[in-house]
A and B are shown apart, each in its own frame.
Chain A
């Protein structure tokens, strides 16, 4: 009896695991067993803030507003050549939990605003064969944690950051090899374990127990706060609190800031010379920069952004300072368990951008 039961159990386990093996390679099979479907922009459709999904501890569940239809993907987003203004930025500019900056600018100014989600404007414009035409404005938004990466080297037309792999261009053996060995299976199995109908509840229960018993937190979100003046659980990404150039604690010395500004100034000049585009630069503060005192009241900010602003002032680089208004705001401007900003932050940003554009 025991032997037969064990045999069936092994066969069932084998079938389940074989399904898992295939599903990390075939997206529809993968999504079929997940509570929340995965797609390239998955985190903009989740129920809770993205940082909750790094640890699954139930104390950090914060229900986010239901996502809006994306302006960038809608018919209202004009073709690049037809646009009066280009809103170029990362996930902050494209975050769908509220109306995006591009949509708000479009509504406020009544002009054609082309929204782009990418990192390197010269590369994008080059790839899109954008011709030099009438003078237009391009708003270039970058989150503080990425400033080092974006500006430690000069921008050019062939930035390797946008080097996407097209599987269809690979030979058949290479495709098979890719399908079998190059899949990020460990990461995807981990998603299956934490997100599938079969295991999500148990996974969250164990993660919560580990946190309650041993304060064990996932390495991705090592710094957190459960009780604070905002009455919202808060999580912070490791890259904003470690020793890397992305972090609050990294020493961005004056030499580095000068290098960033050299490259930023060069980018601004190239945009103008090549494409007749006037750049408005928009650095967005990290969540930790604004709320570090919630978790580490004894720490102090090395004033990276104010020093960056100062250097840009010296060089007359056109930028928008939202840090000062964000810092003095008395309400929370970012979601507690998501690294992105909320509607109030977008309100302030749009106000400041409108002031700058109308000048």
Chain B
């Protein structure tokens, strides 16, 4: 089920009304049924994978908590890791692996050495496997007690607001919340509704509008020149942000209405001063997951320098692969890893340059330059993220860097009211993001008079209906 579907718009009020109408002790049953239904609406057969993952991790953790024998605990952790990563590998990466192995064998005239399978990638598999993995690892490390209640644990794995595209929650945060009793709280529900509306606005008004241009150019890169490529890349950066942060807002808002507090996933990432900060603001639940369960166990920065660079780079390389089974994602991850390593290596030179040029004395200008530079680096990497293949990505970069491809090509672009509106909407988004950076907009909105609040709300809701693209576009992160 997609958030931007009528199916969800019908489903959610039923769940909320039933949730508050029933006794608190039965609510987990309602939420579990609703969550499984939510997932099965996409493909009912694949619920088996969630149930399998749930059962393996539940029993692995229970057994782990019963023993102090290190080897046995390690074996149980291995079973959990093997099962979850095995599922992920089989459904998400096997064909990628098989294509690449076959390509190597073909050099030696051996064809179809490894078979390929034609199956659907289970929606959200990268999210729920990571969420449940974090639980078993936490139990193994002794950070978390094993959850005894199978139903509550199943709900933790499948909680519908964040099941298919995060935020990837931690058991230490989310599991205890399922034991609390939430009363009907007007203020909390109102804030949740506002967040959901803002999420819908970003998704159906901005992201899906920009997607039309982005898809047109990126799916036919040979038909367009540097100018169109540049605009499409600029649009894509905004599209993916609005798409994914819009999803997160709807997820956080809907959970908030039910009483649950999901972690913040985006904090205005395009206002970052450097790549490190970008990753503290972009897809926070994933970047902290990789930090806690990969980067730090690898040694983090408490190792010799070359090993630190290696840890950083490998973490981002794997993060790239997590996003998709394609070399374009691997390059995207490698670029971000490379940016971070380069930033560390050049830190002292850049500081020296800023001091010598006097930029340090004008912090505002310094910040603007840093912001633009970070923006350029991030958008450059997005080209690989969005391109359908590496050759498409190099073609697009070549066009953007070659001014000769700009001439005359402008006429090919479809300049419609919708196209200009896209720029206006990005402008509106930037203003809102900058204001939100300065103060909590929702708090500020709540302190306004009723007339202002309702007028603003009606404008946003009306624009969702009038300007929204309700043609059932998947959320981009569903494919990951």
- The interface of chain A, by Cβ under 8 A from chain B, is 2-3, 6-7, 10-11, 13-18, 20-21, 177, 180-181, 185-186, 189-190, 193, 206, 209-210, 213-216, 219
Other-chain residue from A3, A15, A18, A210 in contact with B184 (beta carbon distance below 8 A): A3
State which of B9-17, B90-98, B375-383 sits at the interface with chain A: B9-17
Question: Looking at the complex, which one of B7, B17, B186 makes contact with A185 (CB distance below 8 Å)?
Answer: B7
Q: Is the CB of A14 within 8 A of B13?
A: yes
Q: By the criterion CB–CB under 8 Å, are B6 and A186 in contact?
A: yes
User: Chain B, 10-51, contact with A by CB distance < 8 Å: what is the 0/1 string?
Assistant: 111110111011000000000000000100110010000000
The distance in angstroms between the C-alpha atoms of A59 and B7, with both chains bound, is: 29
B-side residues, CB < 8 A to A, are 5-7, 9-14, 16-18, 20-21, 37, 40-41, 44, 184-186, 189-190, 416-418, 421, 465-467, 471-472
A7 to B188, CA, bound (A): 13
Contacts of B13 in A (CB 8 A): 10, 13-14, 16-17
Q: Known contacts A11-B17, A14-B14, A186-B5; is A206 also within 8 Å of B471 by CB?
A: no
Q: Is the pair B10, A213 in contact by a Cβ cutoff of 8 Å?
A: no
- Residue B7 contacts which of A14, A189, A209 (CB distance < 8 angstroms)? A189
Q: Which residues of A contact B7 (CB under 8 A)?
A: 185-186, 189
Q: A186: which B residues are within 8 A, CB to CB? A: 5-7, 472
Return the chain B residue nearest A182 by Cβ.
B44
A320 to chain B, nearest CB (A): 40
CB distance from B447 to the nearest CB of A (A): 16
Give the CA-CA distance A180 to B12 in the complex, in Å: 16
Chain B residues, CB < 8 A from A185: 6-7, 10
Q: Can you give 16 contacting A-B residue pairs, CB < 8 Å?
A: A2-B186, A7-B20, A7-B184, A11-B17, A13-B13, A14-B21, A17-B12, A17-B17, A18-B14, A21-B11, A181-B44, A185-B6, A206-B466, A209-B466, A210-B466, A214-B417
The answer to whether B14 touches A17 (Cβ under 8 A) is yes
B317 → A minimal CB distance (Å): 38
Cβ contact of B17, chosen from A14, A180, A181, A190, cutoff 8 A: A14
A87 CA / B134 CA spacing, docked (Å): 67
| Cβ contacts under 8 Å, A15 to chain B | 17
Assembly CA distance A251 to B37 (angstroms): 45
Find out whether the CB atom of A181 lies under 8 angstroms from the CB atom of B466.
Answer: no
List 17 extra interface pairs beyond A10-B17, A214-B467, CB under 8 A.
Answer: A3-B184, A3-B185, A6-B190, A10-B16, A10-B20, A13-B13, A14-B17, A14-B18, A15-B17, A17-B14, A17-B17, A177-B44, A186-B7, A214-B416, A214-B417, A214-B418, A215-B417
Chain A, Cβ-Cβ closest to B16: A10
Shortest Cβ distance from A147 into chain B, in angstroms?
A: 29
Closest CB in chain A relative to B73 CB, distance in Å? 40
Residues of B within 8 A of A213 (CB): 417, 466
- A181:B40 contact, CB within 8 angstroms: yes
A6 and B189 in contact (CB under 8 A), knowing A181-B41, A219-B471?
Answer: yes
- The reply to whether A190 and B6 form a contact with Cβ atoms under 8 Å apart is yes
Decide: A20 and B418 in contact? CB cutoff 8 A.
no
Cα–Cα, bound, A7→B13 (Å): 11
Inter-subunit contact B10/A20 (CB<8 Å): yes
Quick one: which of B9, B10, B44 has the most chain A CB within 10 A? B10
When C-beta atoms are compared, the residue in chain A nearest to B185 turns out to be A3
- Report the separation of the CA atoms of residues A15 and B421 in the bound assembly, to the nearest whole angstrom: 38
| Nearest-CB residue, chain A, relative to B472 | A186
B245 to chain A, nearest CB (A): 24
How far apart sit A16 and B41, CA to CA, in the bound complex (Å)? 20
Which partner residue on chain A sits nearest B44 by CB separation?
Answer: A181
A172 to B190, CA, bound (A): 43
Given contacts A21-B14, A189-B6, contact A6 B466 (CB under 8 A): no
Report Cα–Cα, A13/B5, bound state, in Å. 17
Residue of A nearest to B21 (CB): A11
For the complex, what is the distance from the CA of A209 to the CA of B6, rounded to whole Å? Answer: 21
Alpha-carbon gap, A6 to B6, bound state (A): 22
| A16: B residues at CB distance < 8 A | 13
By a CB distance below 8 angstroms, the chain B residues around A21 are 10-11, 14
Kindly provide the distance from the CB of B403 to the nearest chain A CB, expressed in whole angstroms.
33
Contact B17 A13 (CB under 8 A): yes
B186, chain A: closest CB distance, angstroms:
4
- Closest B-chain residue to A1, C-beta based? B186
Instruction: Check if B16 sits within 8 Å of A3, measured CB to CB.
Output: no
In the complex, what's the smallest C-beta–C-beta distance from B2 to chain A, in angstroms? 9
- Chain A: minimal CB distance from B275 (Å): 37
In the assembled complex, the Cα of A186 lies from the Cα of B6 at a distance in Å of: 6
Q: Hey, which chain B residues are within 8 Å of A10, CB to CB?
A: 13, 16-17, 20, 189
A26 to chain B, nearest CB (A): 15
Residue of A nearest to B421 (CB): A214
Please, how many angstroms separate the alpha-carbon atoms of A216 and B186 in the complex?
Answer: 37
